[in-house]
Amino acid sequence: MSLNKYLDVAPEVAAAVAAGKPVVALESTIISHGMPYPQNVETALKVEEIIRENGAVPATIAVIGGRLKAGLSKDEIEYLGKKGADVAKASRRDLAVLVSKKADGATTVTTTMIIAHMAGIKIFATGGIGGVHRGAETTMDISADLEELAHTPVMVVCAGAKSILDLGLTLEYLETHGVPVIGYGTKELPAFYTRKSGFGVDYELDTPEELANAFQTSLDLGFQGGMLVTNPIPEEYSMDHDVINKAIDEAIKEASEQGIHGKATTPFLLAKVKELTGGDSLDSNIQLVFNNARLAAKTACALSAKN
């Protein structure tokens, strides 16, 4: 357990970590930037409930008043939900300044991994990771999530990289940085809204116990990096491949025309895709997060049983 002076670990989370019980970290960008209030708060609380139902303790992570929080109260989740996009989207580069200014920050995959690791939490459930953006060969727009996966020993359970990205280049980048990409029950990388992408993963593992074994072995070997588990969206919530790709292409064209870049890119594209799909993409997004929370909780239980 870290004694970082800027870190507040919720008592329930601290007790679970100290006792070696299963804990699952959750990000807060999905609350502030992922969907409107009150749906964002309802979804965040439902994800926590799913983790509890599957035997683990949830630890939603954020920066509030300059404090790194591992485990939020319902009031704190409500606070982030109401403030919405007024809360800074906090990546690694933002943490020191936000903390020094006693500001609020919604944590991305990167910062959730950082704070989870500080708090001794090994498993993290999210929707999709960031990656290499389309056109990155000229823009150099590559998510900090990929670097964090290379350096921070946390298992990230997601539905693949967001399909607004260049999935082939994202996989190449992860390979270069030594991050294993595991398909849960699949040999093919899921593409967030859809179960297939046309790209293969490094390994297919089929049970939470296998995932826990692989990650524990990585820790035992002293590897400093994380492990990426890609969990396909349930079939009944998967979107039509052609429909979603047409919407993504249109959203990317509009972002380029409007000169949108950097950290504003992903929220803009996701909002545009939601608009173009009549809200179907948001429904799919919520369901895949629920699905990832279930798998992360089961994997955390399996990991806890090993220790």
Catalytic (active-site) positions: 27, 162
Locus of tokens 């491949």? 241
Rounded to an integer, what distance in angstroms lies between the CA atom of residue 183 and that of residue 185? Answer: 6
Burial pattern 228-258, b for ≥16 Cβ within 10 A else e, equals bbbbbbeeebbbebeebbebbeebbeebeee
Backbone angles phi, psi at 63, to 5 degrees: -115, 120
Q: The tokens of 196 are what?
A: 């297939």
Cis peptide before 22 (omega within 30 of 0): no
Backbone angles phi, psi at 205, to 5 degrees: -125, 145
Degrees, nearest 5: CA angle 171-174-177: 150
Rounded to an integer, what distance in angstroms lies between the CA atom of residue 91 and that of residue 143? Answer: 9
Within the chain, residue ranges assigned H as helices are: 11-18, 29-32, 39-53, 74-83, 92-100, 109-119, 136-139, 144-151, 167-176, 208-220, 241-257, 265-276, 280-306
Q: Measured on CA atoms in the order 190, 192, 197, 200, is the torsion positive or negative?
A: negative
Short-list 221, 255, 211, 29, CA closest to 122: 211
Locus of tokens 């297919």? 204
